[in-house]
Structure 1
Amino acid sequence: MGDPQFAKYPNLQLSQHVFQLTNPSSPKASKQASLKSLQDAIREHKMAPLYRHLAHPVEGILNATGEGTASQPAGHRRPSSSAATFLATKNPTLEVNLPWDEKLYDELKADNEKELETIQKEEDEAAEKAGETEVQTARGKRAEYYTRIGDKEKAIAAYEAVFEKTGILGTKIDIVLAIIRIGLFFGDKILVKKTVERAGTLVESGGDWDRRNRLKAYQGLHLLTIRSHAQAAPLLLDSLSTFTSYELCNYSALVVYAVLAGAVSLKRVDFKSKVVDAPEIKAILGDGDEKSSALSGKTSAGAGAGDEEMQDGPASSAIPHAAVNLTTIGQSEAEQQDAEAPVDFTGLATLVSSLYNGNYKDFFGALASVEDAFLSQDRYLYEHKSWFVREMRLRGYQQLLQSYRVVGLTSMANDFGVTIDFLDRDLAKFIAADRIPCTIDRVKGIIETNRPDDKNKQYSDVVKQGDQLITKLQKYGQAVRLRGSERG
């Protein structure tokens, strides 16, 4: 099978630090900590290209509205789409700045050139005295070095050169996974999409078990970033029990991504079996007894398991606790790439339990907590936070309304802990978009649900689609007539 290659760089945690510098929801103390980590990494790994990409007075993406030169004011530049996803906002207003030091940049650049000369010398000697394997090793070192210092284009080109010359399938898959991480680091979704598909083709052609499982996490994270939660959820949840892709994210982050994707997309039965009762998730989000049971393997993750023991109410007694990685039990710390930082999963645990148990007031409170703790602080989740919160509110409304024919407006508002006016406005948006089949009668103070039968729904769909088709044909006919008159 062989150990994964090219997995050390890029360090995706650095891209999270860059994101935090431009994140308006991040506290100043976190921004200062991210700045220090970023500066330390730039100095330690001689990251001259990344330093220039971020902090240069004219070309740096962190200075899009900052300082510039008289001939080229920075305020007139527009960051690329990938830069916009690299940062929290397109035009960041920095509370904590990454200063530009020309002398430091020159020193880093000189170190880069010296190291690349050494690698080139090694490759030349290998071509002269050794074989193709040694030459490939030197080329791989160059690709890794470009990745380490943050030179995106040269790193991809170097990896492609190695890819073309290697015949080992496992090495090819590792190279493509490295390119995916480069795309994730710089927020290049087009590159990631294209390369994930490429990796899938390679794995299907004969990839080993370990690389198949690693790719599953990569695919799930990519789908999460493009808001395909229904496709991402099964991949991320399946990755929990076999996770080894620590170069991609830590286990705590994977749990968050899997739970959020499952909560917003899975049907109630699947949500119960794959999230609420899943032993890997109970080991993180459960209370003391549930964690012990999950870690000992006693918890069943089957559909409907534990229904007789489900308690009403949120997991309000849960206390902040650190993540537990089930795949690394018994391993030494040296065997894990990154140490897990303590994470408070209380809000996420309450979100899961309150949604399933129908405690909607606690559910709305937990949703706000999850938005503050996770959605607003993670670079992959941040741009989708408004959509996610809206979809979760919709999920709560749908879950309550599907059980009743008529619901009192005041009663439902009290259940969710909101005002009648807020509930009226919020439901009206979903009703107008055909997301909730109900009507609101403010005079009687009730909400009536409508459940059209399949025949009526099919009839409505045919009428709607037919109307759209007629409109398109009319526009096409007008365009043809215009072209005919022009020819005449």
Structure 2
Amino acid sequence: MGSDPQYIKYPDLTLAQHVFNLSNPACPQPVRQTSLKKLQDVITENKMAPFYRHLAHPVEGILNHSGEGVPQLPAKSLLTSNMLASRKSPQKIDFPWDEALYQSLVEDNRKELDTFQKEEDEAEEAAGETEVLAARGKRAEFWARVGDKDKAIESHEALLEKTTFLGTKIDLMLAMVRIGLFFGDSQFVKKSIERANTFIESGGDWDRRNRLKAYKGLHLLTVRSYNIAAPLLLDSLSTFTSYELCSYSSLVIYSILAGSLSLKRVDFKAKVVDAPEIKAILGPGEDRLAALTGEVSSGLGAQDEEMKDASVSRTTPAAATTVVNLTTLGAGSGIQAEAETPVDFSPLANLVDSLYTGNYRSFFLALAAVEDNFLNQDRYLHEHRAWFVREMRLRAYQQLLQSYRVVGLNSMASDFGVTVDYLDRDLAKFIASNRIACTIDRVNGIIETNRPDDKNKQYADVVKHGDALITKLQKYGQAVRLRGSERS
């Protein structure tokens, strides 16, 4: 058994989402106002002087609208981040700058740091190494709490060097991962996850291994590695306890989106459509009850390879539901579940159902709803929303075309609820980039699929590579061959 996780309270990643909301034109005005109020309250409550300056300073603030001047301080002293939805924030909401408030926060921070220094000095004189590390740990958490990226990383690194307990080392690395996620620094997140993985492999406990799995999955999601992220996120659904990283609702959303895009049809059926954790959220009443009670899920077979024109009842969940984490439910802990904000999962439910059953007209409508309700509103998904929608369209096209040798243009356009011209243009992009093996015959109004012959392709590859190898050997032989007169 491992020790309880440490350093999980700060930074609060929900604050980064509120900053994103303020800069997101697609975010409703009431939500932006709520985010503004929340940020102002938390900054005052947690004495976040560096973060307040980073957001609202008239010159340096990333949410500043009134000042258009160039920062006067050296570039190295400015806090860098990638927290905004766009480079230009909406003009309707301004984050006001209060110099008196800022100076008050700075003074509070100075007093708190003096207290930490005093505790550390006293621990060094009269106590042991454990007390000294505890005082330094308070300083590290302080910098993470007030939102100073550079000093937070520096203090965590200093603490990491002095710490001997493996569990604490892993907790410190995971805290640094969250600092990187908070400020949108993907490179730092990647390096920190690699370092945390090294510690985990050297003997990390079960709980920290599962936490790191969720961290990896979320990071991979932010860099478009959905095929690697999907298994990690879906596996995390049954063991999730990392509420410092994201809510369980968010994990469900990320898992469904990653799985829908990247998993093969058989895996998609088993791990998304029929997964108990997902059916407990997306399914109709009887499926939710079956998932919660541990009964085997019913439905279409998991081993069907080809598309079936199945006629099944459409998923009709409630308008907004509170997700249930089966892990905490089984452990008798409902604290985190009760804190979950109700979410309308119906667009995701419709997306999963229509993709699997081949109801492509509903699929396009569900995809548009997912873009509006989830992709546009989440700081991790927003940057890749156009790519995700394009890849999902490609998946639907591939899924339909793989079952037919010839498809009528009018018929396929009718299935997707689009015009023939739109379908022609959209398919042409994927055909030109070799993403779909088919040709379009507009004269006869048909689409002919070109199923690749794997054996012939393998034979052609062997011949091609063999020719290249023989050519290289011949050139090598000519270069090293010695005439009889040169051997002496």
**TM superposition score normalised by structure 1:** 0.89
CA distance in 2, matches of 1:114, 1:462: 72
User: Is 1:56 matched with 2:53?
Assistant: no
State the identity %: 66
In structure 2, the partner of 1:231 is 228
Are 2:259 and 2:268, in contact at CA under 8 Å, matched by a contact in 1?
A: yes
Greater C-alpha Rg:
2
Check 1:377–1:342 CA distance in 2 against 1; reply closer, same or farther (3 A cut): same
User: Is 1:258 matched with 2:259?
Assistant: no
Check 1:302–1:201 CA distance in 2 against 1; reply closer, same or farther (3 A cut): farther
Query: How much is the aligned-residue C-alpha RMSD, in angstroms?
Result: 2.9
In structure 2, the partner of 1:453 is 453
Check 1:318–1:20 CA distance in 2 against 1; reply closer, same or farther (3 A cut): same
Check 1:316–1:253 CA distance in 2 against 1; reply closer, same or farther (3 A cut): same
CA distance in 2, matches of 1:278, 1:441: 41
Q: State the SS of the aligned residue for 2:47.
A: coil
Check 1:80–1:222 CA distance in 2 against 1; reply closer, same or farther (3 A cut): farther
Check 1:427–1:316 CA distance in 2 against 1; reply closer, same or farther (3 A cut): farther
Are 1:283 and 1:291, in contact at CA under 8 Å, matched by a contact in 2?
A: yes
In structure 2, the partner of 1:68 is 67
CA deviation after TM superposition for structure 1 residue 92, in Å: 2.2
2:285 to 262, 283, 288: 288
Are 2:410 and 2:445, in contact at CA under 8 Å, matched by a contact in 1?
A: yes
Amino acid at match of 1:105: Y
Check 1:58–1:395 CA distance in 2 against 1; reply closer, same or farther (3 A cut): same
Map 1:116-127 onto structure 2 (within 5 A).
Answer: 116-127=113-124
CA distance in 1, matches of 2:103, 2:242: 35
Give deviations 1:359-413, integer Å, cap 9, x for gaps. 0011110000100010000000000000000000000000000000000101101
Map 1:417-436 onto structure 2 (within 5 A).
Answer: 417-436=417-436
Q: State the SS of the aligned residue for 1:407.
A: strand
Are 1:217 and 1:245, in contact at CA under 8 Å, matched by a contact in 2?
A: yes
User: Is 1:138 matched with 2:135?
Assistant: yes
Check 1:83–1:23 CA distance in 2 against 1; reply closer, same or farther (3 A cut): farther
Check 1:464–1:144 CA distance in 2 against 1; reply closer, same or farther (3 A cut): farther
Give deviations 1:265-313, integer Å, cap 9, x for gaps. 00000000000000000001111000000000003499935989x7535
User: Is 1:273 matched with 2:255?
Assistant: no
In structure 1, the partner of 2:321 is 321
Map 1:25-424 onto structure 2 (within 5 A).
Answer: 25-63=26-64, 66-68=65-67, 72-73=69-70, 85-300=82-297, 304-305=301-302, 311-312=311-312, 314-316=314-316, 319-329=319-329, 335-336=335-336, 339-424=339-424
Q: State the SS of the aligned residue for 1:59.
A: coil
CA distance in 2, matches of 1:226, 1:292: 36
CA distance in 1, matches of 2:420, 2:77: 43
Check 1:56–1:462 CA distance in 2 against 1; reply closer, same or farther (3 A cut): farther
CA distance in 2, matches of 1:465, 1:61: 54
Are 2:22 and 2:32, in contact at CA under 8 Å, matched by a contact in 1?
A: yes
Are 2:149 and 2:179, in contact at CA under 8 Å, matched by a contact in 1?
A: yes
Check 1:191–1:337 CA distance in 2 against 1; reply closer, same or farther (3 A cut): farther
CA distance in 1, matches of 2:158, 2:294: 46
Q: What 5-or-longer segments of structure 1 have no aligned partner?
A: 470-488
Check 1:465–1:231 CA distance in 2 against 1; reply closer, same or farther (3 A cut): farther
CA deviation after TM superposition for structure 1 residue 154, in Å: 0.8
CA deviation after TM superposition for structure 1 residue 454, in Å: 2.1
Give deviations 1:17-68, integer Å, cap 9, x for gaps. 00000001101111000000110000000000000011111111223xx343
Check 1:78–1:48 CA distance in 2 against 1; reply closer, same or farther (3 A cut): closer
Are 1:79 and 1:90, in contact at CA under 8 Å, matched by a contact in 2?
A: no
Q: State the SS of the aligned residue for 1:447.
A: strand
CA deviation after TM superposition for structure 1 residue 329, in Å: 1.7
Structure 1 moving runs of 4+ over 6 Å: 77-82, 330-334, 459-466
Q: State the SS of the aligned residue for 1:247.
A: coil
CA deviation after TM superposition for structure 1 residue 81, in Å: 13
**TM superposition score normalised by structure 2:** 0.89
CA distance in 1, matches of 2:403, 2:368: 25
Give the count of matched residue pairs.
463
Check 1:74–1:442 CA distance in 2 against 1; reply closer, same or farther (3 A cut): farther
Check 1:294–1:140 CA distance in 2 against 1; reply closer, same or farther (3 A cut): same
Q: What 5-or-longer segments of structure 2 have no aligned partner?
A: 470-488
